[in-house]
Structure formats: structure tokens, C-alpha cells
Amino acid sequence: MSGDEGFPTVSANWKRRAFIKASVGAVPFFFSSGLFSLGKKASVSQVKIENIEIFPMRYPMTGYFKFFTGPHGSQGRAAVIVKMTADNGVVGWGQSIPIAKWAYETLETATIALRDYWRPVLIGRDPTDIAGAHEAMDQAIAPGFTTGMPISRAGMDLALHDLVGKLRGQSLAEMWGQPKGGPITLSWTVNVRSLEEVEGLIEQGREHGYQNFNIKVSPDPEFDVALAKKVREIAPETFLWADANGGYDEGTALTAAPKLADAGVDVLEAPLRPNRISGYQALKRQGALPILMDEGVISPVELEEFIRLKMLDGVAMKHARCGGLLSAKRQIELLEEHGLMWLGSGLTDPDISLAACLGIYGAYGLTKPAALNGPQFLTATVLKSPLKVSEGRMAVPEGPGLGVEVDEDRVRELAAQAKQQGK
């Protein structure tokens, strides 16, 4: 635990906690330009979290998407809904959305972390102290290289934001002192097993009003280039976003990037696994395409380090990946401070998590198409007024907190179905 000079080293996790603590100061619910802004101190500061209920479930799906295959993925889109109740009766809702084929978190581990580790340390706390809640969760499940179990944690973070917004009568944008923004233009995901599927899938997207398309690529660069050319030919005006999900090795990525650029791709996301630092540096130096990172960018600490190491041109942002809105907001601000790109992405978000995506992307003025494909693949909702796609766009919810009203009977119904089926 010591450096070469005999002095203690400072871990990234310690720095992250110190950064949050320093940003909070003596008034945990107000920042002028820090991690989180709730506005002026209000009487709700005396409210405490009285109870947290956890509902594991699976949303039914349609269509083919590579992350939802196999014995678990084919059962439906895993999610854990969080109901957080204050001692004055106000309820905040959150949602964790693990995907075992995308990251290491599962429906089972998310349920355990939320119910048995974070629930006990958050009950009795002031919900407006969101940064303090994250510190408490760090004490219950220690960070490793970065935030521990961030996809699971995002469910608590969203519930806190929803609860505080309802207590204060403010939307996410109002909580942060930002304009509401929106509507958010969406991008249709083209994930195919053969080129013969492309035209029909794009036509399906157009029938729903979509004009922009993102493609899943790797590990075969020859197929990927052909796919990109075909999509660009069919949809010449599209913002064409290629996502490799870390599926190339360095040599393949360096060869593929110029060819994908020639085929009409606009940005290349996650060409390598995030620990391939020198590979990302080589791709950025090559400059064939803007290189976005996704997997592996969890807290603001590693984002700052990756920027310093010149590994990226931007980030495909998703609050679910990085532990919730608190971290996502700061990361967007960091990228903007450094003049780097950020695009709106997601993890096939169901309704509650999708509402949070729309809220933060609207508040920070996203104009590029967002790869939010929950509406493309999910066939159920727990909202009383479902979020709707109109002409390839979605409006930012306008109510307090996340802006949506949850149908608790439907939540319990889906949770009961999952329990009965042993999922």
C-alpha cells in the first residue's frame, strides 16, 4: 500500500469518495456547479426514508438482440424495480437493469445487493442527501477498481432522484437548474445475423417513424463493413453509429476503423475492451473515426483518467452503466468541459429507467439520435401512461422526479409471474 518513496498511495476509490464529499460540503442537497443540484434548502430536508421494497421481474420481449439470448436472456429483459417510501408517504421509484451478457451483474445478484446490502444502510437516511447515500452504499459494498455493482446501484439512485423530485415538486431538469429539453430523437438498432435481414429491419424501424440507425459490429470486420455499406445505402441521411461492445482485438480494430469510415460510419463505439489502454490510444492517434468508450467508464474518476491518457473522443452515456444519474450528470459535465462528444445510449431500458434517460438527455441538450432501444424490443410496461414513440422521437416526461406514474399493481403482477416461473 506504499509508493516508491514510502508514502501511502491514494486509491481511485478514495479519490472518488473524497471528490463527492468535497462537492457536498456542509449542505448535501445544494450545489451551484457540482455533482448534484436540488435548489434551495427546503422543509423536506427533515424527511427520512422509511421503507424500500424490491421487485425482481422480467419484461417480455420481441425480436432478436444478441444480449438477450441463451437460457436466461430468452426469458425476458431482467429488471429489479425499487419502491422507496418516505416517512411522509411520498414514494420514489427506481429500476436496476442487469444484462448478464453485457456485464457481470445478474437479476439474482442485483436483487441481493439491493435488498440485503443497500436497503439496510439507506433506511432512515435523509433522501435529499444523494451523495451521502452513495457513500453509504460504498460502505456496504466496497468499490473495487471503480463503483461496486453500478448497474444494480442505479436502481437506488433513480429512486432517490424520483423521491426528491416529488418531495420538492421538481422535474430532473428543474432539480439541476437546466431546461427540460427534448424531444429526444431515437436510433433504431440493427443487430442482424445475415445481410438479408437488413432491409426488412430498417423498413420496420421506418414504419415506427425512425430515420436514424445504429449497428452492432464485431467480431467479423468483413461482415461489419458490408453491413455498414448496406445500411448507408438504404438510409443515406442516417447518423450511422457502430458499436462493437469490446469485440475487436487491437489489430482488427485498427484495420476495421478506416474501412468502416469509408463505408459511411460516423462514430465507432467500444471497439476494444476498456482495459486495452494502449489500443484505445492507438485508435485515437489513428483518427479514422471518433472513438467512443462505453463499458468500463463507471465513475468520473476513470473518465478523468481515460481523458488524460488520450484514449477517447467521447462516451456513449448511460446512467445504468455508471451507478445512476449522480455519476452520469458529472460525466456529461466533464466531457463538455474537455470539448469531447457524448451520445445518449441505454441498456434496452424498460419504462422507469427509460424515463430517467429521457430526463437527463433532455436536460443536457442532446441533439444526436439516442440509442434507446427499449421501445424496439420490450412489449410491456408498468407505467399508468406508457412512454410513446412518435415519428421516431420521445418527449421528455414533465412530472416531478422522473416524471412518470408507476402502476404498482402491474409491478406486483410482473414480480409474481417471475417468482412463479422461478426467474
* DSSP assignments along 30-46, one per residue: --SSSS----S--GGGG
pLDDT of residue 353: 97
- 24 secondary structure, DSSP code: H
**Distance of alpha carbon 154 from alpha carbon 228, whole angstroms:** 33
Geometric angle at alpha carbon 155, from 150 and 159, rounded to 5°: 135
**Distance of alpha carbon 370 from alpha carbon 377, whole angstroms:** 15
**Distance of alpha carbon 423 from alpha carbon 421, whole angstroms:** 6
| Regions of the chain where pLDDT drops below 70 | 1-45, 65-74, 423
Domain 40-169 and domain 176-405, same fold? Reply is no
**Distance of alpha carbon 76 from alpha carbon 64, whole angstroms:** 12
Closest listed residue to residue 56, CA positions, set 77, 70, 71: 77
Element (H, E) at 78: strand 77-86
ω into 219 cis (within 30 of 0): yes
Give the sheet arrangement for strand 212-216, strand by strand: 187-190, 212-216, 241-243, 267-269, 291-293, 314-317, 341-344
**Distance of alpha carbon 422 from alpha carbon 176, whole angstroms:** 41
Question: pTM of the full predicted structure?
Answer: 0.88
Q: Taking a C-beta distance cutoff of 8 angstroms, is the pair 242, 269 a contact?
A: yes
Domain ranges of the chain: 40-169, 176-405
pLDDT of residue 67: 67
pLDDT of residue 73: 56
Measured in degrees and rounded to the nearest 5, phi and psi for residue 92 equal -115, 145
State the Cα torsion 27-28-30-36 to the nearest 10°.
Answer: 150
Q: Which CATH superfamily is domain 176-405 in?
A: Enolase-like C-terminal domain (3.20.20.120)
pLDDT of residue 69: 66
**Amino acid of residue 29:** F
**Distance of alpha carbon 104 from alpha carbon 334, whole angstroms:** 26
Grid cell, residue 61, equals 420481449
Share of the chain above pLDDT 90, in %: 82
3-state DSSP assignment of residue 319:
coil
Residue 363 CA from chain centroid, whole number: 15
Closest listed residue to residue 103, CA positions, set 377, 415, 321: 321
Q: Given the C-alpha cell 414513440, which residue does it identify?
A: 389
Do strands 49-59 and 77-86 pair parallel, antiparallel, or not at all (unpaired)? Answer: antiparallel
Q: Taking a C-beta distance cutoff of 8 angstroms, is the pair 81, 55 a contact?
A: yes
Looking at domain 40-169, does it have CATH number 3.40.640.10? no
Residues in the chain: 423
Q: What is the 3-state secondary structure (H, E, C) of 338-374?
A: CCCEEEEECCCCCHHHHHHHHHHHHHCCCCCCEECCH
pLDDT tens for each residue of 60-115: 978 776 666 666 656 788 999 999 999 999 999 999 999 888 889 999 999 999 99
Q: CB within 8 A of 262, min separation 6: which ones? A: none
